[in-house]
Amino acid sequence: MTRKTAHATRDQGYRLRRMRDSAFAGAAPAHPGGEAPLKDAVIDLGWGRLIFAHTFEEPAAIVDAMREETPDRRDIAFYVRDPHVLLAKAPQELFLDPSHSYRLDLATWRAASGRARGFFIRRLCSRADAEAVNAIYGARGMVQVAPEFFWTSRDSRTITVFVAEDEATGEILGAVTGVDHARAFDDPARGSSLWCLAVHPQAARPRVGEALVRRLASHFKARGAAFLDLSVMHDNEGAIALYEKLGFRRVPAFAIKRRNRINERLFTGPDPAEGLNPYARIIVDEARRRGIHVEVTDAEGGFFALTHGGRTVRCREALSEFTSGVAMSICDDKSVTRRIVSAAGVRVPEQIEACDEAALAGFLARHGEVVVKPARGEQGRAVSVGLSDADEVARAVAAAHEVCDRVLVEECVRGEDLRLIVIDGKVVAAAIRRPARIIGDGRATARALIEAQSRRRSAATGGESEIPLDAETERTLAAAGYGLDDVLPEGVETPVRRTANLHTGGTIHDVTAETHPALIRAAITAARAIDIPVTGIDLMVTSPREPDYAFIEANERPGLANHEPQPTAERFVDLLFPLSRARAAAPSTPGARATTADH
């Protein structure tokens, strides 16, 4: 029998039969006196195809359908009646997806009163929306979808994509996709399903995901759908908690997937790189993709060894044996770094060591505002920015002394914090880093908003980014006129840190394509002066599109994962093993190599 495909664009030209009344269907029921649903139903969702397994009569036909999966896509057979029987047909090709299925009974569900604060939910309606949603997928490690697919499907009655838009900035904060089963395959059970719920990991607004799910549920309830189903990874505790809060309940529905590269971590058993932080993990994943042997020597510290062609290179995240001890020493001491790059012609801010009170007072009087930081240190520890009061400077110097016995005081250069990743003498990525901020809702205290934002940042970065509740946070809030226990008015936005370090809750925004050539030259010049093969060069700039800058520091172990989807890990592995490029997979859809299981 020829399989009929219910495509996302089938609304144009493909006749849909009217849905018939029926009972609950986790599988296709009999329909006395009426037509059965469409046979062998499949719908393309861009990241892969959704195969409605309960519309297939024979398991062999489901296997045939799954074998049509295209490269860098991930097809899912959902509502599999007898997964053990299906797996027996192709045990080397298929596996049982370790996800739970949840259902929301729309007949009894009631939409919550009130509306989201600071953002609104609407349909995807432009190419810019499609590109923004794809960027969110990339940031969340999901299989990306060609923006053209979203655009050509915008009028589909089968697929609905809702986006959350920030009222103040117009930024797309998140998205969710819904499938109308009645239009997909004349589902007599009048079902619908939720896929690809994704919120940008740097979204400052709370409850975006919840609002998207509520909007989709309201949409399908208004259409007359009986239920809304979804599939979620069994260990995604945060998502499961949200769904259960909204009234979803577990149902015995199963999903089957193919054993492909995208799904590899779901069927290969214990991960040899389990426990690595995101900065080590991105490199290890790229190495394994090329067939390079990986040995994790200390997961907690991010140490691993890569072996290819009879040669082994030991690494700690983006720091490898290729970086010399001399280069590390230069980066380790910020005053030495400044002198080295200044001698190479890179513009640096004025700086003194905090060892003479009179000189310090004169420096503060001359510049008005200063930065205090330990001569050695990382992750923004004990760095204070924008100090203008002598007592503040003294306290900051004392705090920095707890990190390093030498403390530097530097002129405060106002602007945006630009991080450029230089690998093998080339700028691979550039991004503006912005300090952590909160947005008031008229109800929560600043402390509660900070704690909530910190939890979201920690969850999005594997625990790598959190906002400290320390003196620097209090001082930053005080400068805006608030204390930790004050309630911020609705819509009021304020920074809670002066530094843009990602480990203290900062966010990062890619500007690779728009960075001024003068800034790129400065970064390359600084890297060459230090003689370091991989580094993160920090510049303070008026704008990434303008040539003005001041060098801040160089990092010998930059976080490559912060710059996805720019090919930082690819270029790093190219540097270590140039001949492995030929073994890498052919170019594919950007970002498709990284996935989550919660499509």
> Which distant-in-sequence residues (6+ apart) come within 8 Å of 432 by Cβ?
416, 417, 418, 419, 508, 509, 511, 544
Q: What is the pLDDT of residue 430?
A: 96
Q: Report the chain's C-alpha Rg in angstroms.
A: 27
DSSP assignments along 408-470, one per residue: EEEE---SEEEEEEEETTEEEEEEEEE--EEE--SSSBHHHHHHHHHHHHHHHTTT------S
Q: What is the pLDDT of residue 16?
A: 31
Q: What is the pLDDT of residue 278?
A: 87
Q: What is the pLDDT of residue 284?
A: 93
Q: What is the pLDDT of residue 223?
A: 95
Q: What is the 3-state secondary structure (H, E, C) of 178-220?
A: EEEHHHHHCCCCCEEEEEEEEECCCCCCCCHHHHHHHHHHHHH
Tally of residues, the chain: 599
Q: What is the pLDDT of residue 378?
A: 66
| Cis upstream peptide for 29 (omega within 30°) | no
Question: Token pair of 444, please?
Answer: 């929560």
> Could you tell me whether strands 76-78 and 49-52 are parallel, antiparallel, or unpaired per DSSP bridges?
parallel
Q: What is the pLDDT of residue 420?
A: 97
Q: Are 431 and 548 in contact (CB under 8 A)?
A: no
3-state class percentages of the chain: helix first, strand second, coil last, to nearest 5: 30, 25, 45
- The CA distance from 563 to 425, in Å, is 18
> Could you tell me whether strands 159-166 and 384-387 are parallel, antiparallel, or unpaired per DSSP bridges?
unpaired
Q: What is the pLDDT of residue 68?
A: 95
- The CA distance from 387 to 381, in Å, is 16
Distances (CA, A) of 176 to 48, 186, 193, 208, 240: 15, 22, 11, 11, 16
Distances (CA, A) of 129 to 2, 123, 171, 237: 37, 9, 9, 29
Q: What is the pLDDT of residue 36?
A: 56
Helix residue ranges per DSSP H, 223-333: 237-245, 264-267, 278-289, 325-332
Q: Are 346 and 340 in contact (CB under 8 A)?
A: no
- The CA distance from 518 to 338, in Å, is 18
Q: Is 302 exposed, middle or buried (0-12, 13-18, 19+ CB in 10 A)?
A: buried
Q: At residue 392, what is the residue type? A: E
The neighbouring-strand residues paired with 305 are: 295, 314
Neighbours of 578 (CB within 10 A): 10
Q: Smallest Cα–Cα separation from 233: which of 142, 160, 135? A: 142
Rounded to the nearest angstrom, the gap between the alpha carbon of residue 223 and the centroid of all alpha carbons in its chain is 33
CATH 3.30.470.20 fits 326-334+341-347+415-435+499-570, yes or no: yes
CA pseudo-torsion sign 25, 31, 35, 39: positive
- The CA distance from 244 to 210, in Å, is 11
Question: Token pair of 559, please?
Answer: 């976080």
Question: Token pair of 170, please?
Answer: 């117009």
Q: Are 25 and 188 in contact (CB under 8 A)?
A: yes
Q: What is the 3-state secondary structure (H, E, C) of 319-334?
A: EECCCCHHHHHHHHCH
Question: Token pair of 49, please?
Answer: 């195809």
- Give Dmax (Cα) for the chain: 96
> Which distant-in-sequence residues (6+ apart) come within 8 Å of 243 by Cβ?
102, 104, 213, 230, 232
Domain locations along the chain = 1-269, 274-317, 326-334+341-347+415-435+499-570, 436-497
- The CA distance from 382 to 497, in Å, is 12
Q: What is the 3-state secondary structure (H, E, C) of 522-573?
A: HHHHHHHHHCCCEEEEEEEECCCCCCCEEEEEEECCCCHHHHCCCCHHHHHH
Task: Output the tens digit of pLDDT for each of the chain's 599 residues.
Answer: 333 444 433 333 333 333 322 323 343 333 333 355 689 999 999 999 999 999 999 999 999 999 999 988 999 999 999 999 999 999 999 999 999 999 999 999 988 776 778 899 999 998 899 999 998 998 888 888 888 888 788 778 899 999 999 998 899 999 999 999 999 999 999 999 999 999 998 888 888 999 999 999 999 999 999 999 999 999 898 899 999 999 999 999 999 999 988 888 788 776 767 788 889 999 998 998 888 999 999 998 999 999 998 899 999 999 999 999 999 999 988 889 999 999 999 999 888 888 777 778 878 878 778 888 887 776 667 787 778 777 788 888 888 888 887 888 888 888 889 999 999 999 999 999 888 888 888 888 989 888 888 888 887 777 778 888 888 888 889 888 898 998 988 888 888 887 777 788 888 889 999 999 999 999 999 999 999 999 999 999 999 999 999 999 999 999 998 898 899 999 999 999 998 885 554 433 333 333 333 44
Question: Token pair of 241, please?
Answer: 């908690």
Q: Are 554 and 262 in contact (CB under 8 A)?
A: no
Neighbours of 547 (CB within 10 A): 13
Q: Smallest Cα–Cα separation from 262: which of 95, 63, 136? A: 95
Q: Indicate the class that CATH gives domain 1-269.
A: alpha beta
User: pTM of the entire structure?
Assistant: 0.68
- The CA distance from 597 to 141, in Å, is 10
Cα dihedral 264→269→274→278 (10° resolution): 20
